[in-house]
Amino acid sequence: MSAVEQEALVEELPELPTRRVGSPARAWTQWLLRRLGLAILTLLAVSIIVFFATNALGDPVRAILGKDYDVSPDRVAALEQLLHLDLPTWQRYLMWLGDLLRGDLGVSAANGLPVAELIGDRVINSAFLVLVTAVIMIPTSIGLAMLAARWRGGALDNSLQFVTLALAGLPEFVTGILLVALFSTSVFHWLPAVTVMPVGGAPWDRPASMILPVATLLIAVVPYLARILRSTMIEAMDSDYVELARLKGVPEGLVLRRHVLPNTVVPTIQVTALQLAWLVGGVVLVEYLFNYPGIGATLVDSVRNSDFPMVQALAMIIAAVYIVVNLIADVLSILFTPRARTGMVK
Amino acid sequence: MSQTVTEELRCRVEDLRISLPARGVDVVDHVDLTLKAGEILGLVGESGSGKTTTGTALLGYARTGAAISGGDIEVAGHKVRELGPAQVRAIRGVTIGYVPQDPSSALNPSIRIGAQLRELLDLHDIGTPEERGRRIRQILPEVGLPNDEAFLRRYPHQLSGGQVQRVALAMVFLPRPQVLVLDEPTTGLDVTTQGMVLRTLEELCRRFDVAALYVTHDLSVVATISNRVAVMYAGRLAEIGPVKQIFTNPSHPYTRALLNAIPHLHRPFALTGIPGRTPAPGNRPPGCRFNDRCSFAVPECSAEEPPDVEVSPGHFAACIRTDALPAWDPTDRVVADTDPRRDRKIILTVSDLDIFYGTSHVVHGVNFDLAVQEVVALVGESGSGKTTISRCVGGIHDNWDGTIAVDGEPLATAARKRTADQRRRVQYIFQNPYLSLNPRRTVEQILVRPLELFGVATGKAARERAAQLLEDVQLGESAMSLRTNRLSGGERQRVAIARAIAVEPDILVCDEITSALDVSIQGSITELLNSIKAERHISMLFVTHDLALVRSIADRILVLQNGRLVESGLAADVLDRPQEEYTQKLLANTPTLDRWMDTSH
């Protein structure tokens, strides 16, 4: 090829984004600030809903005191003062929000102790349960999805599809009760049915008592996650670039690892985040079922006792986790999508 | 053709059969091919002919659900069907390479260009790591790409379509394969990019002395690049022979029918389609598979599969009637160009048209007009603004300044702001009939709706009119009760045309309406449009990227580049005597059959 011909062949490269606002770091900061701002706005909206919803439930003092309401006017007065019931609702909201922003979760209406003190350990216990579940959930789901996608249409895939569909359809309290019946009461007596903890103890001191709660949560989230991941993997496996990899003689295992998996990372992150966020709320029922000392039992008790400061604090924590998990998922998604990542600096 | 074809046989396919085991039908059968070193064999066929399936079979590959069930495949001394999976993988990419149809989806979006280029060399342990890097840096300039680190660190989405295709070419040539399968490698590229890719390909094939199978639906490309041509129909080879023989003495009626559907740049042809539709695997007629659509068929044609008849040395046609075919004279279908002295009664005037997408200015001060019973073609590469202009005329895009007037009456920017009669007079036909027809409605509902909407006819009268419209677009009344999923692409486009002409418009805006269709269907649609223009005195704005097609359908032509009108005039004048450099470049890059037009070749 002559130099002239070669010159003629060279087509202009599309400009890489030159219209930069600044460095990639600056673009990231701007993006993050915007997203954080949105997250704060969302939390603010949640706080309004939580506060006014709990207020709309009725007179907290009457709910707390029950029969005593009519006979002990001095306790009514004390509670009313504690809860600032003499002020208009919006003013109480602002006070509550101000306290919240200063990290003061308020005082329990049931026993007068600071909410933070009452739920601190509980939040840690719940977080531990969710963390253990997540650590097992992610590799299990990816593994099952890979197996099913690799042998698509085979016996393994078909039975996995059937089992996961059946399990995904079961509510977690049903699976929980079935597991208890199977492993601790009716059939075998291997595992404790409820969590019994000594005072001041932590659940990780007794791993055996965590098995059933974790298993119940896993059965609730893994089937759904595995099914979604299987279909995103199959989509990637049917793509032209995977066909080209095969036609280049890339062995099937390498095709899966190098060409399929990286392109399923983003859907994996997004669905995993949704499932994680669900876990944070879904944990309530399962904790209650197994008497696990987490936020679940506390939340149920607080609702029953009309302990509004506790309910509000717990609801806000759950909402915050939900938002943070999704924010992290979005950051990771951008990091793992070349097109989005390179687009950041535009 | 500058290539030197040696007698060294690189690839041999005998009696190849590919089937769908689940349905027990053959997709491809009885295919024999040979490839010599330094040769490019064009494998031509319409969609569903089995050409891509045949191409990938050379690599021992069949898509999910299909299997290579018979025959011998020999590639550079390897008997592909006798190799185990690991052995087949060992020759893929190294001995036999594959260039995909759509590289923008065939390059992995999450792997950098450099890593994708390197993968095959790493995998097969070719050279030392330093050598691999050096080879990549050597080959990139040969395909017209930069070889600096910044380029290698780019992702596929940071390259243009032509560049991505050249990365794919560089990738396939890196391990120096002996045989190459190219699957429509230039489909979807602009003509100038296609021209560059074809030249690069030809150059590389010659330099590396490979034997290449070029799979395509485009006879014009094949005429430009191949030494030999194989024509495939319904899973079998209809005809195979040297390129000159195929184009100057086509000896299978199917090849002739295909050639009759191809437009030519420098002569206006009356294009014709092929009646009927390509039979799907399992529905293929007995005997010669083309017999039910063939104008030369005799009863014996459906009795048994025709043998290969050697018409001239190396030129075979699977037809028992080769002796009965008249001598091939492509010029007998040449018609007259538009008379330049013809009176023009202007119906559509576009003046000072500026179009915007958001804040970006995409079309700059375009002026043109359209006369009654005239077809004006808008041509240009992607991004030239041709479709954007047509969308403004149709009122689909409303962010524009300037005047678009029908019979001197200016139109509002958006269709919804125009009067019912203005909307009726300008009808739009979309590129993709698979997307432009509502799949939940029957053909009758699709046609009756505009009739009622514009008050042309209602009730029984509307249904009769719809039936008549279907006759007019050669579909027949029996299509009335069908939903569009029962129709082929060409039939859908006919329904879309019937819907557009239902309300007796004055102007049809046709946006690339044949580019999603096979050539034979393109031929018949062109035929239909010409008859609509003649009988109904309709004017058309015809958007296309295919310059040759312009010669067969348009009276006038507007050449656009980057949103500006660079040249306009009578189609014959512009195509034969282009004044502007851009038009000349477009024409020079357009593959054409013109060099085979003279039968004395």
| DSSP one-letter string for A221-271 | HHHHHHHHHHHHHHHHHTSHHHHHHHHTT--HHHIIIIIIGGGGHHHHHHH
Token pair recorded at residue B301:
């044609």
Whether residue B88 lies within 8 A of chain A, CB to CB, comes out as: yes
pLDDT at B556: 95
Q: Which residue of A has its CA nearest to B196?
A: A9
CATH topology of domain A117-343: MetI-like fold (1.10.3720)
How far apart, in whole angstroms, are the C-alpha atoms of residue A323 and residue B187?
45
Distances (CA, A) of B99 to B75, B81, B170: 17, 21, 10
pLDDT digits (tens, 9 = 90+) for B380-426: 988 899 999 999 999 999 999 999 999 999 999 999 999 999 999 99
Question: Nearest-CA neighbor of B39 among B226, B245, B215?
Answer: B226
Q: Assess whether pLDDT exceeds 50 at residue B503.
A: yes
The answer to whether A1 contacts B203, with C-beta atoms less than 8 Å apart, is: yes
pLDDT band at B159, cuts 50/70/90? Answer: confident
CA–CA separation, B165 and B156 (whole Å): 10
Residue B524 pLDDT more than 60? Answer: yes
| B56: contact with A, CB 8 A cutoff | yes
How many whole angstroms separate alpha carbon B59 and alpha carbon B61?
5
Which pLDDT band holds residue A345 (cuts at 50, 70, 90)?
A: low
For residue A148, give both structure tokens.
């099913």
Considering CB atoms only, which of A243, A251, A263 is closest to B109? A263
Residue A4's pLDDT is: 42
Q: Averaged over A208-234, what is the pLDDT?
A: 90
Chain A residues in contact with B143 by the CB 8 A cut-off are 9
The Cα B387–Cα B560 span in angstroms is 11
Q: Which tens digit of pLDDT belongs to each residue from A298-326?
A: 888 888 877 888 888 888 988 898 899 98
A338 has a pLDDT exceeding 90: no
Residue B462: predicted pLDDT: 93
Cβ neighbours, 10 Å, residue B278: 22
Q: Give the ipTM.
A: 0.79
Question: Best interface-test mutation with B: which of A2, A157, A247 has the largest number of B CBs within 10 A?
Answer: A247
Taking CB atoms and an 8 Å limit, are A249 and B123 in contact across chains? yes
Least confident of A69-83, A123-137, B130-144: A69-83
B window 135-164, beta carbon within 8 A of A: 141-146, 151, 154-155, 157-160, 162-163
Query: What sign results for the dihedral spanned by CA atoms A183, A189, A192, A193?
Result: positive
The DSSP symbol for B300 reads: G
B163/A10 CB distance under 8 A = no
Say whether A338 and B157 touch across the interface (CB within 8 A). yes
Q: CB–CB of B159 and A338 under 8 A?
A: no
Q: Which of A300-304, B497-501, B572-576 has the lowest mean pLDDT?
A: A300-304
- List C-alpha distances in Å: B205 to B92, B107, B226: 18, 22, 11
The one-letter amino acid code at A141 reads S
Top-confidence residue, B430 or A204:
B430
Query: In which band, very low, low, confident or very high, does the pLDDT at A10 lie, cut at 50, 70 and 90?
Result: low
pLDDT over 70, % of chain A? 90
- The percent of chain A in helix, strand and coil, each rounded to the nearest 5, is 75, 0, 25
- List the single residue in B with minimal CA-CA distance to A254: B123
B interface mutation test: which of A248, A259, A260 has the most B CBs within 10 A?
Answer: A248
Question: Are residues A61 and A68 in contact, defined by beta-carbon separation less than 8 angstroms?
Answer: no
Q: What is the mean pLDDT of residues B20-41?
A: 92
Tell me, yes or no, if A332 comes closer than 8 A to chain B by beta carbon. no
What local confidence, expressed as pLDDT, does residue B257 receive? 92
Q: Mean pLDDT score of chain B, rounded to an integer?
A: 90
pLDDT tens digits, B270-302:
888 888 878 888 889 999 999 999 989 999 999
- The DSSP string of A305-322 is TT-HHHHHHHHHHHHHHH
B220/B213 Cα distance (integer angstroms): 16
For residue B601, what pLDDT is reported?
42
Residue spans of the domains in chain A: they are: 24-101, 117-343
Sorted by where each begins, the domain ranges of chain B are 250-335, 346-434+504-596
Q: Is A201 on the interface with B (CB under 8 A)?
A: no
pLDDT in tens, B307-337: 999 999 999 999 999 988 999 887 888 888 8
What is the pLDDT, as a whole number, of residue B117?
A: 92
* CATH (one of 3.10.580.10, 3.40.50.300, 3.40.50.620, 3.40.50.720) for B346-434+504-596: 3.40.50.300
pLDDT at B1: 42
Tokens 């018979």 — which residue?
B70
Per-residue pLDDT band for B600 (boundaries 50, 70, 90) equals very low
pLDDT in tens, A85-134: 778 888 888 888 888 888 888 888 777 788 888 888 888 888 899 999 99
Nearest Cα of chain A lies from the Cα of B437 at a distance, in angstroms, of 27
Question: How far apart, in Å, are the Cα atoms of A85 and each of A66, A76, A90?
Answer: 17, 11, 11
Q: Which of B101, B110, B141 sits opposite A262 (nearest CB)?
A: B110
pLDDT tens digits for range B84-96: 989 999 999 899 9
